[in-house]
Amino acid sequence: MTTLLHLNVSPRGETSHSRRAADWIRQKLAAQHAPLTVLERDLAADPLPPISAAFTDANMAGAAGLLKEGEVPPALALSETLIAELEAADMVLLATPMHNFTVPATLKTWIDLVVRPERTFRSTRQGKVGLLRDRPVLAVVACGGPVREGPGSQQDFLTPYLKYVLGTIGLTSVEVLRMDNTARGPEYIAQGLEHLQTWADATLPGLVVPTEAAA
């Protein structure tokens, strides 16, 4: 049995291009990895609370080794739940828009809650080392405007940031599908869907899903 963690970020519901594209990919994954168990978290419909002083203090205490073994302060309970969902997943499917050239605030909060020192990564003299086992991460990113070279184009800070921050905790197998110009009409949306199918045909069959024994 394969477990998929499906994160939705867009607040646009059924009109969201990233949600619809990710739902299509999810159907393909269900056929490819049956039976598929899905853990779904909607960060728009059920937004996470912002980082608090209590969370920061408890997080720093854990990083400093000041907590008893197995102790989970109330301020870290939600973070532990999110990390447990990530640990339980064999694959991650992330559907998000690009907001102001990078990740939306709701997704950034999820990242801040799962990227924790001495819990999901460890700092060494050689740099940070991820403590989670690697697994495929598929990110579907919808951009209203053009993200490419040339006049009038905008930069993509989302993709390099997402790969870097997930790599920090051990998730290095990140594949990003970017659908550009989704706010410019049906012609561009059709091009995005065609790109989606080409990307899926090239990417999904080659996914290496870790087995329980390998974990």
Taking a C-beta distance cutoff of 8 angstroms, is the pair 97, 142 a contact?
A: yes
Query: What backbone torsions phi and psi does residue 145 show, to the nearest 5 degrees?
Result: -115, -175
All residues at 6 or more sequence positions from 78 whose CB lies less than 8 Å from its CB, including other chains = 48, 49, 113
Detail the DSSP E strand segments found in the chain.
2-8, 36-42, 91-97, 121-124, 127-130, 137-142, 174-179
Question: Is 99 assigned a ligand-binding role in the annotation?
Answer: no
Residue 16 known to bind ligand: yes
Decide if 95 contacts 8 (C-beta within 8 A).
Answer: yes
Rounded Cα gap, residues 124 and 126, in angstroms: 5
Is 52 annotated as ligand-binding? no
Residue 153 marked ligand-binding: no
- Is 92 in a helix, a strand, or coil? strand
Largest CA distance in the chain: 58
Binding site listing? 10, 16-18
Binding site listing for FMN? 10, 16-18
